[in-house]
Copies of this chain bind each other. A is one copy, B any other.
Amino acid sequence: MTITITAFEHSPDRGKGLARDMRVRWALEEVGLPYDVRHVSFKAMREPAHLRLQPFGQIPTYEEGDLALFESGAIVFHIAERHAGLLPEDANARAHAIAWMFAALNTIEPPIFDRALARILERNEPWYEQRLHALEISIRKRLDDLSRRLGDADWLDGAFSAGDLLMVTVLLRLKGSDILDDHPNLSAYVARGEARPAYKRAFAAQLAVFTAASAG
């Protein structure tokens, strides 16, 4: 059954792989599933056909036969649950990996995403520096905890899992910032994620969309 996902027609990050389709591409590459991509414009994302698939007018979506899904976390979980490679078989280890999936999306991503938004939307506000500082303090608090927990392990809980996949995509938004670089074990963790062949294939696929659109 063909899998079709949606992604931005014009990548807002110019192919840096920060849009949420990257997580789904990476998960599909890890388990070796081929997929098609439908590119949607910002205008089309608010039209009824897309809103039926994605109630909040976002990407990615996932279609496979009569199943239509939204939310990158749920899509990655759906893939991980059905194909070997992203969730351990042992019940407790599997539950831990799922806890890291939720931690990535509900505990670590929100302040990191807020910072990214503030850097775009609030840059000219008089309070910008102070607000950015406050956001960086909350991110650092989380990363201190995450860094302590990771220690010198390769991955958060045993073998690479969907929890690591989501955590790496969330931390990638901080790549090149002091916030991440001040935690060398987290920088190395992100680099380990990026070095995976499945990550590289997914990254190249989303970059090719941007390159083609720019050339067109």
Residue A73 lies at the interface, judged by CB distance under 8 Å to chain B: yes
Q: Which residues of B contact A70 (CB under 8 A)?
A: 99, 103
Distance in angstroms between the alpha carbons of A149 and B78 in the assembled complex: 22
Q: Which residues of B contact A145 (CB under 8 A)?
A: 51, 55-57
Q: Are A77 and B98 in contact (CB under 8 A)?
A: yes
Q: Are A74 and B95 in contact (CB under 8 A)?
A: yes
The 8 Å CB contact of A55, one of B57, B127, B130, B148, is: B148
Chain A interface residue number, banded:
35 or more
The verdict on A103 contacting B146 (CB below 8 Å), with A66-B92, A125-B127, A127-B127 known, is no
Q: Are B109 and A106 in contact (CB under 8 A)?
A: yes
Task: Spell out A's residues near B (CB within 8 Å).
Answer: 51, 55-58, 66-67, 69-75, 77-78, 91-92, 95-96, 98-99, 101-103, 105-107, 109-110, 113-114, 121-122, 125-127, 130-131, 134, 142, 145-146, 148-149
A-B contact pairs, 8 of them (CB 8 A): A56-B107, A56-B145, A56-B146, A57-B145, A74-B101, A78-B98, A109-B110, A121-B134
